[in-house]
Amino acid sequence: MKVIGYIRVSTEEQATDGVSLATQREKLNGYAKLYDLELVEIIEDAGESGKTLNRPGLQRALAMIRRGQAGGLLIAKLDRLSRSVVDWNTLIDGYFGERCGKVRFGYRLADDGTTLIAIPEEQEAIQTIRRLKAAGESLRDIAAELTRRGILTKEGNAQWKHTTVARILERTA
């Protein structure tokens, strides 16, 4: 996936206090390499406040996304992009409403690509996991029972692991 990196500092103090442009640039390069992202360009706003979206570098980055030159914006920290909830809403509605990441066990994505729809069989499996845990069963015993019943994991595996059971319990607590 092609992404644009965006880095920002608002004051000279920030430039030397752990969020320097160089530090942010290094983080973006490392993240892009780790996740095999094509970093098209890193755009910076030096000496620009995060209180507004009206920053030359940010506007240029967003324009590149609108033109399809990249599919995402990579930042080192959320506060480098914005400190305003209103601005976050503007960005999410205008550029980032798309859901990213895996859909958790028990759900699938609707055709709109953002709405989660419950999968009855997986919801039933979640209830089984909860009941067995409440009855004092260990995570390994629950995994073995799900495997015995032929219930498939989200990835379609027939063999359950205790770590998968633990994640489901954490996410549905």
- Catalytic residues, by residue number, are 10
Distance CA(89)–CA(149), nearest Å, equals 44
Residue that the structure tokens 């599919």 belong to: 71
Residue 96 identity (one-letter amino acid): F
CA atoms within 13 A on the CB side of 17: 7
Cα-based angle 57, 62, 63 (whole degrees, multiple of 5): 95
Q: Which two tokens stand for residue 25?
A: 């640039």
Q: Could you tell me if 83 and 14 are in contact, meaning their C-beta atoms sit under 8 angstroms apart?
A: no
Distance CA(27)–CA(25), nearest Å, equals 5
